[in-house]
Amino acid sequence: MTKDILLVTGLSGAGKSTVLKTLEDLGWEVVDNLPLVLLDRLLDAPLAAGTADDSQPLAIGIGARTRDFDPKRIVERIRSLRDDHDLDIGMLFLDCSGAELERRYSETRRRHPLAPDRPAGDGIARERELLRPLRDWANRLIDTTDLGANALAQQVRTTFATSGNDAPVLSIQSFGFARGLPRNADLVFDMRFLRNPHWDPVLRPGTGLDPDVAAYVAADPAYAAAMEQIGALLELLIPRYRAEGKSYVSVGIGCTGGRHRSVHVAEHLADRLRAAGFSPTIMHRDLGAAPQDSLEGPPASK
């Protein structure tokens, strides 16, 4: 019997097809829109000759189009399978803002499955309420509002390519608060208490990847103690997330513009976590943004 099972669900138009296709490319067995009554038969069915062994992970797509779709009954059935069998069952929920979903439906000229003769917004609202039990139960969530198909596929590859690892997949992202919070961050640390290289004319054009900028940030009197405590906290929390069944942890490191302090701190923490045996991936969301006084604001008066 298959040991690792991932249920993929979420709002129609949020990217379920992209996720399932990407998982299939990663070597998962993928089944979409499987009626709940057939789940036991699927789990007990032998694999075709010449395919991978029964440890191959299985992804099952479910949603409003699935026959006999009943979110509350699905949760009850999953709990039963977890309790009665040696199965590792997780659920990935794909969320998205209503405005973005309406835009996608408008561009593709498709009708929402729950509102074939009404505005797409009506169907989106109805489906969001219908899926609430699954969203509350899911142990993974990806908000695809700001993710195109390629970015979503990359996030799935990052999250699930090493799903057999004992540690959760860990990502660290630097960002600028002036340009908005990252949507999928589990933990966010604010570096705006550190002195800002933006207000040094020599350092302003650089980034936190440059040694002189990094040295300026690290010279702040609060830097060493803050880095020690944040690093120790991450080393404590990441294994505990794994113990609770969380397979993906995203850490956001923010400053005002996302080019100096947050970039350096993200690199520093990633190095520390690698030395501690973790394997974080790192992304600098706003590194290429131009420095702007209107975003940074004036320096604090002394």
Integer angstrom CA distances of residue 149 from 14, 100, 106, 178, 232: 10, 14, 17, 26, 35
The tokens describing 150, both together, are 């390629």
| 262 carries a ligand binding annotation | no
Residues in the chain: 302
Tell me: is residue 250 an annotated ligand-binding position: no
- Residue 290 annotated in ligand binding: no
d(CA 285, CA 259): 9
223 within 8 A of 217, measured Cβ to Cβ = yes
Question: Is 13 assigned a ligand-binding role in the annotation?
Answer: yes
Question: How open is the CA angle 260-159-257, to the nearest 5 degrees?
Answer: 15
C-alpha 214/C-alpha 78 separation (Å) is 49
Rounded Cα distance between 39 and 70, Å, is 14
In sequence order, the 6+-apart residues with CB closer than 8 A to the CB of 242 are 166, 167, 168
The radius of gyration of the chain's CA atoms, rounded to the nearest angstrom, is 22
- Known binder of ligand: residue 245? no
Tokens 């103690």 found at: 225
Q: DSSP for 52-105, please give it.
A: --TTS-EEEE--TTSTT--HHHHHHHHHHHHHHSS-EEEEEEEE--HHHHHHHH
Number of Cβ atoms within 10 Å of the Cβ of 125: 14
- Coil, strand, or helix at residue 209? coil
Q: What letter does residue 242 receive in the DSSP assignment?
A: H
Whether residue 148 is annotated as binding a ligand: the answer is no
Residue ranges for the binding site for ATP? 10-17
Residue ranges for the binding site? 10-17
